[in-house]
DNA sequence: AATTCTGCCTAACGTTCGTTAGATGGCAAG
DNA sequence: CTTGCCATCTAACGAACGTTAGGCAGAATT
């Protein structure tokens, strides 16, 4: 805590060299975890990719588990933030379809922009040691709850049929969106186009427009 | 090859003890790979779970990589077979919606029934060593092609709108279905119910029935 | 100028890894 | 009863693993 007489403005300068190294380590570790899984990446490989020696990682992180927890949480947190921010930027009276498409677009855009962190989530979470999963669960649940609220709101605004099972809808929707991490290539049409196509497919379905009874 | 004078009926008795052990090893290995990833599972752990010692695995498999390739291929192959079989059992004049729902049901049912093998696919393939991925690619591509043909046929029969991007549809659909491996619990409603809900959501979409212009 | 702190390094620990070679007991064929 | 294969075991190999302890140079503080 700062002494009473110091300027209380900010503690900004406390990051510098260490903070940059930390970020670099997280970035390369996220990429490696995505490519080879949790157990498939050694601390020596992470250190080497970040221009360090293995032992030095312990200056920045308590353990391999602590490192991966930070990557997992960061991935979810960033996407959660992007979705919340995009939705709250909508006019208060936006219709349900717009709400839905905005959330889908924000999820996809941040998911694919931070693909190393978010892929690590999709690929690594399920096979990480149990303490890692336990420590990372709260952040995931919070994001699920965000989508449950979002779908409920869209339904209230008439964009989702009344008989839809919202939990099933959430699982289908997020499953479909997250799977794009496995095949998306920016060259073959951008995120914008993908988001538009997916939002359309998910909202209108595969059936032809009339959808005769 | 049997000598000319032996009864040519069948070569059935050539499997016995060894074949049973092989299957047991594959089963426990699939479960372990699903739970801990490729690098997270040691041959000693697999052997112990199958009631063997590590060295004995080499009597049945050439290497750890060969073992996992077999598991990956088996998972895809079984689902592929189930879908082809279910579709070909339909009357030749079945409508597109029936075709679609049948394929979705067959995929989900076999996916979740053989969940250790299929989960190993979803979770392990992306982070397996490159030789493993290369050797397992053909089987995956064949299944993708199966769905491309299936969706094209459904579109020809009028169950999918003419403007739909079939590649995007396939990726969305399979992504959504496969994601169910991560959360499905048989207690909370069976596979049948899930297949019906998912087929409905994917075909009709989230939008209310009229889907006003 | 002297001192403290920061960020990283070297070296080593005990353990576990995939894999191999050779031995061994049981079961089946002669 | 003997022979030989079949399925598994034991023991060991070098390499790599996560983690720790202690050292060391340069920057920051006094």
Residues of B in contact with A177 (CB under 8 A): 175
Confidence of residue B209 (pLDDT cuts 50, 70, 90): confident
For residue B6, is pLDDT > 90? no
Interface residue A210 vs chain B (CB under 8 A): no
Residues of B in contact with A213 (CB under 8 A): none
Round to whole Å and give the CA distance between B59 and A179: 38
* Rounded mean pLDDT, B114-124: 96
For residue B97, is pLDDT > 90? yes
Contact of A87 with A107, CB cutoff 8 Å = no
What digits encode the pLDDT tens for the residues A124-145? 999 999 999 999 999 999 999 9
DSSP type of residue B211: -
Please tell me the predicted confidence (pLDDT) of residue B2. Answer: 34
Token duo for residue B169: 């549809």
Confidence of residue A202 (pLDDT cuts 50, 70, 90): very high
Round to whole Å and give the CA distance between A102 and A115: 19
Strand D proximal to B40 Cβ, under 7 A:
no
Please tell me the predicted confidence (pLDDT) of residue B17. Answer: 79
> A48 CA, D20 C1': separation in Å?
19
Residues of chain B with pLDDT > 90, as a percent, come to 87
Q: Which of the pair, B28 or A1, is modelled with greater confidence?
A: B28
The mean pLDDT of chain A is 91
Q: Which of the pair, B1 or B109, is modelled with greater confidence?
A: B109
For residue B67, is pLDDT > 70? yes
Only one residue has tokens 């490729």, namely: B38
Please tell me the predicted confidence (pLDDT) of residue A10. Answer: 33
Please tell me the predicted confidence (pLDDT) of residue A11. Answer: 36
Token duo for residue B143: 């299944």
Chains A, B: CB contacts within 8 A come to 151
* Rounded mean pLDDT, B104-112: 98
* Rounded mean pLDDT, B57-85: 98
Please tell me the predicted confidence (pLDDT) of residue B177. Answer: 98
Contact of A85 with A151, CB cutoff 8 Å = no
Token duo for residue A96: 């349900």
Alpha-carbon gap: B15 to the closest alpha carbon of chain A (Å): 34
Is A75 buried (19+), middle (13-18) or exposed (0-12) by CB count in 10 A? buried
* Rounded mean pLDDT, B67-87: 98
Round to whole Å and give the CA distance between A192 and B134: 31
> A26 CA, C10 C1': separation in Å?
24
For residue B39, is pLDDT > 50? yes
Contact of B40 with A37, CB cutoff 8 Å = yes
Q: What share of chain B is helix, strand, coil (3-state, %, to 5)?
A: 70, 0, 30
Please tell me the predicted confidence (pLDDT) of residue A175. Answer: 98
Please tell me the predicted confidence (pLDDT) of residue A189. Answer: 87
* Rounded mean pLDDT, A148-173: 97
Round to whole Å and give the CA distance between B112 and B119: 9
The mean pLDDT of chain B is 91
DSSP type of residue B91: -
Token duo for residue A8: 């209380």
Which of A11-15, A39-43, A76-80 is least confident? A11-15
Please tell me the predicted confidence (pLDDT) of residue B57. Answer: 97
Strand D proximal to B49 Cβ, under 7 A:
no
For residue B4, is pLDDT > 70? no
Please tell me the predicted confidence (pLDDT) of residue B14. Answer: 47
**Nucleotide nearest to A39 in CA–C1' terms:** D17
* Rounded mean pLDDT, A106-119: 98
Strand D proximal to A90 Cβ, under 7 A:
no
Residues of B in contact with A152 (CB under 8 A): none
User: Which residues 6+ apart lie within 8 Å of B106 measured at CB?
Assistant: B82, B83, B85, B86, B87
Q: Which of the pair, B15 or A52, is modelled with greater confidence?
A: A52
What digits encode the pLDDT tens for the residues B125-177? 999 999 999 999 999 999 999 999 999 999 999 999 999 999 999 999 999 99
Strand D proximal to A42 Cβ, under 7 A:
yes
For residue B211, is pLDDT > 60? no
Contact of A172 with B178, CB cutoff 8 Å = no
Confidence of residue A8 (pLDDT cuts 50, 70, 90): very low
Residues of B in contact with A107 (CB under 8 A): none
Please tell me the predicted confidence (pLDDT) of residue B15. Answer: 62
Contact of A25 with A57, CB cutoff 8 Å = yes
Q: Which domains does chain B have, with CATH numbers?
A: 63-204 (1.10.357.10)
For residue A87, is pLDDT > 50? yes
Over the Cα atoms of chain B, what is R_g?
21
Token duo for residue A160: 């989702």
Please tell me the predicted confidence (pLDDT) of residue A108. Answer: 98
Contact of B34 with B123, CB cutoff 8 Å = yes
Restricting to A residues 39-68, those with a Cβ less than 8 Å away from any Cβ of B are: 39-40
> Following DSSP, what letter does each residue of A29-87 receive, concatenated?
HHHHHHHH-STT--HHHHHHHTTS-GGGHHHH-S-HHHHHHHHHHHHHHHHHHHHHHHH
Token duo for residue B95: 């409508």
């Amino acid at each position: 805590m700062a002494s009473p007489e110091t300027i209380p403005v900010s503690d900004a300068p406390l990051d510098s060299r260490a903070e940059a190294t930390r970020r670099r380590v997280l970035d390369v570790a996220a990429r490696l975890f995505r490519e080879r899984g949790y157990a498939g990446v050694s601390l020596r490989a992470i250190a080497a990719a970040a221009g360090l020696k293995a032992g030095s990682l312990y200056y920045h992180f308590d353990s391999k588990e602590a490192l991966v927890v930070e990557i997992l949480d960061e991935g979810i947190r960033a996407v959660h933030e992007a979705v919340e921010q995009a939705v709250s930027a909508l006019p208060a009276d936006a219709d349900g379809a717009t709400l839905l498409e905005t959330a889908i677009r924000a999820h996809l855009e941040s998911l694919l922009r931070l693909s190393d962190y978010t892929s690590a989530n999709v690929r690594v979470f399920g096979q990480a040691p149990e303490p890692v999963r336990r420590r990372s669960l709260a952040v995931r649940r919070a994001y699920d709850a965000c989508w449950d609220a979002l779908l409920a709101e869209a339904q209230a605004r008439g964009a989702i049929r009344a008989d839809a099972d919202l939990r099933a809808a959430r699982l289908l929707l997020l499953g479909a969106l997250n799977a794009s991490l496995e095949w998306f290539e920016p060259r073959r049409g951008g995120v914008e186009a993908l988001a538009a196509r997916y939002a359309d497919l998910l909202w209108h379905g595969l059936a032809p427009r009339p959808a005769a009874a």
